[in-house]
Amino acid sequence: MAMRTLVCILLVLTVPVQAANPIAKVLEMISDLQTKIIGEGAEAQKVYEEFSEWCEDRSKELHFEIKTENAEIADLNAAIAKETANSAALNAKIEDLAASASSNEADLKAATGIRNKEHADFSSEDKELSTVIDMLTRAHGILQKEMQGGASMLQLQNAGSLTEVLSVMVKASVFSSADAARLTALVQTGDEADEAGAPAAAVYESHSGGLLDTLAGLKEKAEAQLDEARAKETAAKNNFEMLKQSLLDEIKFANKDMATAKKGLDESAENKAKAEGDLASTTKDLNSDTQTLADLHRDCMTKAQDFEAETNSRNDELAAIAKAKEIINEATSFSQVSFLQTSRSQLTTGQGLSQYEAVRFFRDLARKQNSPALTQLANRIYASMHGTGDVFGKIKGLISDMISKLEDEASADADKKAYCDKEISESNVKHEDKTAEISKLSAKIDQMTSKSAKLKEEVATLQKELAQVAASQTEMDEVRAEENSVYSEYKAENDKALKGIQLALKVLRDYYAKTDKAHSAAGGSSSGIIGLLEVCESDVARGLAESNAAEEDSKLVYDTETKDNELTTTTKTQDAKYKGKEAKDLDKAVAEATSDRSGVQDELDAVNKYLDELHGQCDEKVESYAERTERRKAEIAGLKEGLAILENEAALIQTTSHRRLRSVREHAS
């Protein structure tokens, strides 16, 4: 720019005085250059303002994004820490449950082995005792029959011991040798258990009553052992079944809890992996935005420095051009004033001609441009022609004022257009931002509303299921109460019956044990009654055992189902509670977002109203800005051309005057 200014100044200083209108041409070039530089400055200012505004907006966006990403990173780190702790707790729980289940399985296996051995021992003992009781019963009956008058009666009466009696019965083929040997061994085993100093087993009274009592005592002892063994087996079986069911329940619940814990562990691992992925992505975005912000700051500072340097250079150039123009104007004005003061009387005819041409030129220009202002200028020039003083100076002043006025209007118009463009552009950006924000809020509201409705449906379903569980539990309670009532009544009746049977057996056994007539007079009737009572006692005891087992099974099933219902109720209640709370929070968020959307809508309405006002002020209704600019350029160019004509005429008159003065001086000399 400085070189361009220097060239213009040198051009002014090197133009010959005799050239046709050189000063006007140079002044026109300088004015054009000023206009061009000013226009470039205005355009550069506009571009820089737009760039500066973009820098500010972009910086705000990046700062907001960085703040949001930092908050997201903090939340994700917290979520990862939470899931890590949750996974550790679940792993510990799974290990404990697995150890508990393994221990219970080992206990069940050991208990099952013990129970199998107990049952095998009982089966062997039951078989042996049943065989002995049967053998004693048959021996008692055979001996009783033979004693009453059989073929071997004499031999039996002469036998001195039970062993001899059994030998006689074997020889008579009324008793097997195997049964006799087993019975003999049983008697000997019983003898070994007697106290020291007791009579020997082989010494028995030879009469029939003593032998029969011995057999009856052995049978009674065997039956007592069998009853004791069976009662012990029943108790052991019931205890094992209860232990087994308890262990199976514990294993079942442990496996169920372990499956739930494993599912929770998988979900925790999935949530952690998702959070870690989101953290990596968010961290990457944060680093990118941070770098972008640094690059933006550097670019904007560089642009500001470049703009400042260009502005300073442009101001220096305009100052140089203004100085050159001032020098030229001062030199031109001095020549014209000197000429007019020296030869006013000799320029009358030429000056009138130039004034006439000027008036005609400006009237033609006003008519051509259809400009009232130019018509008024032509009239003022014509009026100034009849005045006194420096007519050319007045006309040039009028023209210069007109040019300045047009330039001021053009500048004001340009400023207004720049203002309109800037405000409309900013308002359009705000309109788009607010519209996008409303769309985003609307989508968010729709999403939250849909999720809230879904959660409410799930809560209603959970409440319905809870009602069903409660109804089922109530029905179970009623059934269980009825079963327990029936069991209690049955147990009371059978306990009473069992005690009565046992008391009757005791009375009968005591009675028949005290008298020998029971065996001779009552004969088989007393044995049959006692046997029948014993069968009744066994049946009642077995019924009670089965009833107890059924009651225990029913109670265990009821307790298990009740525990499951309690767990289900707790789980579903908590689920319904949390989902209800989440739905409530979503409804609150929807209300807040709706309020926010209303506020943004109000802002959008204000922006639309302001845009309407701007369009009312700035939109071209008759003549566009471009048309006005072209018209003013044409008017200014015409005025400058007219000014140049006047300056050329003045130079021509000055040259002619110099020639006439020189001719007069030469003639005088």
Asked if the structure places residue 259 within a domain, the reply is no
One-letter-per-residue 3-state SS of 272-296: HHHHHHHHHHHHHHHHHHHHHHHHH
Q: Structurally, how many domains does the chain consist of?
A: 1
- pLDDT: which is higher, 155 or 397: 397
Asked if the structure places residue 592 within a domain, the reply is yes
Is-contact 542 235, C-beta < 8 A?
Answer: no
Q: What rounded mean pLDDT belongs to the chain?
A: 75
Asked if the structure places residue 429 within a domain, the reply is no
Asked if the structure places residue 320 within a domain, the reply is no
When pLDDT is averaged across residues 412-423 and rounded to a whole number, the result is: 78
Asked if the structure places residue 375 within a domain, the reply is no
Q: Work out the percent of the chain whose per-residue pLDDT is above 70.
A: 65
When pLDDT is averaged across residues 594-609 and rounded to a whole number, the result is: 91
pLDDT digits (tens, 9 = 90+) for 302-360: 888 888 888 888 787 777 777 766 766 665 543 343 333 433 333 344 455 555 556 66
Q: What's the pLDDT at 285?
A: 87
pLDDT digits (tens, 9 = 90+) for 533-576: 788 888 888 888 988 888 898 889 899 989 988 998 998 899 89
| Number of neighbours of residue 406 by Cβ within 10 angstroms | 19
Domain assignment of residue 460, given as a range = 453-619
Give the integer Cα–Cα distance in Å for 16 and 470: 118
Which CATH number goes with the domain that contains 466? Answer: 1.10.287
Asked if the structure places residue 567 within a domain, the reply is yes
Asked if the structure places residue 433 within a domain, the reply is no
- For residue 658, pLDDT beyond 60: no
pLDDT digits (tens, 9 = 90+) for 98-109: 998 999 999 999
pLDDT digits (tens, 9 = 90+) for 68-99: 989 989 999 999 999 899 999 999 989 999 99
Residue 625, Cβ density class (10 Å: 0-12 exposed, 13-18 middle, ≥19 buried): middle
Q: Which of 202, 132, 213, 191 is nearest to 166 (CA)?
A: 202
pTM of the entire structure? 0.36
- For residue 476, pLDDT beyond 80: yes
Asked if the structure places residue 633 within a domain, the reply is no
Residue 505, Cβ density class (10 Å: 0-12 exposed, 13-18 middle, ≥19 buried): middle
